[in-house]
Amino acid sequence: MADVISAPFHAGTTPVERRNYLTEPKGLWSWLTTVDHKRIGIMYLISVMAFFLVGGIFALLIRLSLFDPSHVILGHKMLDAETYNKVFTMHGVIMVFLFIIPSIPAALGNFVLPMMLGAKDVAFPRLNLASFYIYWAGAALAMVAIVTGGVDTGWTFYTPYSTSTDTSVAWMAMGIFIAGFSSIFTGLNFIATIHKLRAPGMGWFDMPLFCWGMYATALMQVLATPVLAITLLLMTIERLFRIGIFDASLGGDPVLFQHFFWFYSHPAVYIMIVPGMAIVSEIIPVFSRKTIFGYRMIAFSSIGIALIGFLVWGHHMFVAGQSQTAVVVFSFLTFLVAIPSAIKVWNWLATMYHGSITLETPMLYAISFILLFTIGGLTGVFLGALSIDVHLTDTYFVVAHFHYVMMGGTVMGFLGGLHYWWPKITGRMYHERLGQIAAALVFIGFNATFFPQFIMGGQGMPRRYYNYLPQFQPMHAFSTVGSWIIGAGLFLTLGYLLASLRKPYDAPDNPWGGKTMEWQTQSPPLTENFEAQPVATHGPYDYFPVGTH
């Protein structure tokens, strides 16, 4: 291949029909019993997309019901208060536990991580398959909870509400309890894989940054998720047996529940966002055709986020009845955790600067990520500042903040990664122009939906409100219209991605000119990934003509 950087779409070999992991062995049974990380990744991908759709429909319902304080749209009464509470709870639970947490690690990460390392599979392939079925067992219990009347606690399950409401809390808690183990097993697998299955020649600092992000994520999955399991278990037992740990009337402490819950769930928001950052760290250098700037800083900042992220959970509880001492300590630590995220943003910008940039769909999503995550991060500073948090917590400001991080961050990263690796996964190119249009729609719709919520929150609109003061109606309506634009963009995406599957294989092995190992094998890859054990001979982002440095 030439030393001069070539434009995309012309790099790589001409695709031909050849044997690959998709077609051999054949048959549904061979898929359901596969231990191939790529097939498990695809099964995860289909599952999380299905739950993304379900959670998204709940989101559209919420927004539709809030269009007008009367909840009447075109002469139809939308949700009543109880249904509304159940819908936002299930939106949260499905999006967090069944979509975002497994989305990047278990679906995309499963597919590309071993290939990026030059490995044939993850360390424990059977555990990988088990994790997929455990995920579905948990999801099935969550579905049982929805069918048997739903849950109205909010995804945070705060006691004593969750131990006294008569909805299907126990089913849902057990569903999440079980799904948590699938997350643990994925993380366990990734740590072992990264430690022991790197290709010959690939040192820790020769790994693609995606792998560093997955490593940091996996650390948190392994160390935090067990506490979620025990928290939900204790909450369920409290509900059934009244054991007195979280119930104030029995001598327990509801604030202790919040400590337990957030000890997992704060690291969990980093379990969600760090993979998004990891994907952006891949996309930016590839589409800037330039070496990543500050490789070590980005790698260390992932680990830094993972470690400091464990120490800041109390910032969810500034007004919850913690001691003032704890509040101040947690606020201080919260500001420290902002630094590694900022470092990443600066290094991405420095990578783009003096690059050779093209704006294909993955790059559009990566730039969306940077802009939206910046807003999410800066508004996080508001919420870390104590006196302002007292005013803003439990308002729409918080809702907007975490959607800017979770959706503006993780989902943009997920969509970027999905488009980036789509040719490798399926062997097909999607319609590029439609991809760009959809990315623009999602970006515009997202901002239209959530930016007004910052203003509403600042003005004192509390979250989880079914009825609201008439003064907020215009902004709620604006927000609802924004949600339709997101919906349009995402359905368009679904459409052209599915349409691309009807084509014969047309994707080159390396459509974007990536330097990491997954691009050095055919598209779609062989079952054993590489024809022979690859050896790392250069860094993952060496976009310089050889011999000029």
Partner 1 sequence: MSSISTPVAGAHEPHGDAAHGHHDPNLQHHFATKEQQFDTSKIGIWLFLATEILMFGGLFVGFAYMQSRFPEAFFEGHKHLLKVAGTLNTVVLLVSSFTMVLAVHYARTSRRKKLIICLAITMFCALIFLGVKYIEYTHEFSEGLYPGRYFSNPDDPTGHEFIFFSFYFMMTGLHGIHILAGLCVMAWLLRRAIRGDFTSNYYTPVDVVGLYWHLVDIIWIYLFPLLYLIR
Partner 2 sequence: MEWLRSLILPAQGSPYAAQVDTFYMFLVWLSVFFFLLIAGVAVYSVIRFRHKPGDVTPHWTHNNKLEFAWTVIPLAILMVIFVWGVKGYMEAAVPPGDAQEIRVTAKKWVWQFEYPDGTRAINELHVQVNKPVKFVMSSEDVIHDFFVVDMRVKHDILPDRYTEIWFNPTVVGKHHFECAEYCGRGHSDMGGTLYVDDDASYQKWLETGGVDASIPLDKLGSMLYESKGCSSCHTIDGSPSQGPSWKGVFGHPVQLSDGRTVIADENYIRESILVSGAKIVKGYDNIMPVFQGVLRQREVDGLVAYIKTLGNK
Partner 3 sequence: MSDHTTILENTHAAAHGSEGAHAHGPKNPVRLYTLILTCLLILTGITVLVAQFDFGDWNVFAAMLIATVKASLVALFFMHLLHDKGMNAIILCAALLFLGLFLSFDFMDSSTRLLITPANSAAPAGSDYNRPKNLGVPFGGAKNIKPKKEAPPEVPK
Binders in 462-521 for partner 3, by CB under 8 A: none
Q: Does 359 bind partner 3 (CB under 8 A)?
A: no
The answer to whether 174 contacts partner 1 (rule: CB under 8 A) is no
* 530 lies in the site for partner 1, by CB under 8 A: yes
Q: Taking contact as CB under 8 A, which single stretch among the options 6-14, 34-42, 68-76, 256-264 is the one that binds partner 3?
A: 256-264
**Looking at 60-68, 146-154, 199-207, 410-418, which segment touches partner 3 (CB under 8 A)?**
199-207
127 binds partner 1 (CB under 8 A): yes
Q: What residues from 4 to 33 belong to the interface with partner 2 (CB under 8 A)?
A: 4-5, 7
At closest approach, how far in Å is the CB of 453 from partner 2? Answer: 12
| Per-residue binder mask for partner 2 (CB under 8 A), 262-301, x = binder | --------------------------xxxx-xxxxx----
- Pick the closer one to partner 1 by CB: 97 or 373: 97
Are the CB atoms for 340 and 303 separated by under 8 Å? no
Q: How far apart are CA 487 and CA 446, in angstroms?
A: 10
Residue with tokens 């304080």: 69
Task: Return the residues of window 244-263 that contact partner 2 according to CB under 8 A.
Answer: 248-249, 254-255
d(CA 233, CA 225): 12
CB 105 → partner 1: shortest distance, Å?
A: 15
Binding mask 189-228 for partner 1 (x = CB under 8 A): x-xx--xxx--x---------------------xxxxxx-
Nearer to partner 2 (CB atom), residue 81 or residue 230: 81
Task: Tell me the C-alpha distance between 164 and 240, whole Å.
Answer: 10
Structure tokens at 10: 């012309």
Torsion over CA of 319, 324, 329 and 330, rounded to 10 degrees? Answer: -10
The string of DSSP codes covering 123-149 is S-HHHHHHHHHHHHHHHHHHHHHHHTT
Residues 139-178 that bind partner 3 (CB under 8 A): 160, 164
| Rama region for 27: left / alpha / beta (φ>0; ψ in -120 to 50; rest) | left
d(CA 193, CA 420): 23
Q: Which does 82 bind (CB under 5 to 8 A by kind): partner 2, partner 3, partner 1, none?
A: partner 2
CB of 290 to partner 1, least distance (A): 14
Site for partner 2 in 350-389 (CB under 8 A): 350, 352-359, 367, 370-371, 374-375, 378-379, 381-382, 384-389
**Residues 400 and 450: beta-carbon distance below 8 Å:** yes
Contacts of residues 159-166 at CB distance under 8 Å and 24 or more positions apart, as own/partner, are: 159/235, 159/238, 159/246, 159/247, 159/254, 159/257, 160/246, 160/247, 160/248, 160/249, 160/254, 162/235, 162/239, 163/235, 163/238, 163/239, 163/242, 163/246, 163/247
Say how far apart CA 88 and CA 279 lie, in whole Å.
29
Binding to partner 3, residues 279-338 (CB under 8 A): 310-311, 313-314, 321-326, 329
- Residue 321: count of CB within 10 angstroms of its CB: 10
Specify the amino acid at residue 341.
Answer: S
The region of 81-89, 229-237, 275-283, 346-354 touching partner 1 under the rule CB under 8 A is 229-237
CA distance 301 to 296: 8
Q: Which residue has the tokens 């995606």?
A: 210
The torsion of the CA quartet 237, 242, 245, 248, rounded to 10 degrees, works out to 140
Cβ-based nearer residue to partner 2, 160 or 226 = 160
Residue ranges in 425-464 that form contacts with partner 3 under rule CB under 8 A: none
Of 5, 255, 440, 481, the one binding partner 3 (CB under 8 A) is 255
Determine the Cα–Cα distance for residues 365 and 376; give it in Å rounded to an integer: 16
Could you say whether residue 39 binds partner 3 (CB under 8 A)? Answer: no
For residue 449, give the H/E element and its range. helix 432-458
**Contact mark string toward partner 2, 296..315, x via CB under 8 A:** xx------------------
Question: Of the two residues 247 and 389, which places its CB atom closer to partner 3 in the complex?
Answer: 247
Binding of residue 242 to partner 1 (CB under 8 A)? yes
Q: Determine the Cα–Cα distance for residues 320 and 17; give it in Å rounded to an integer.
A: 61
Residue 250 engages partner 3 in binding (rule: CB under 8 A): yes
By the criterion CB under 8 A, which residues form the site for partner 3? Answer: 160, 164, 195-204, 219, 223-224, 227, 247-251, 253, 255-256, 259, 263, 310-311, 313-314, 321-326, 329, 533, 535-538
Q: Name the residues that contact partner 1, by CB under 8 A.
A: 1, 3, 114, 118-125, 127, 184, 187-189, 191-192, 195-197, 200, 222-227, 229-231, 234, 237-238, 240-245, 250-253, 256, 260, 510, 515, 517, 519-520, 528, 530-538, 542, 546
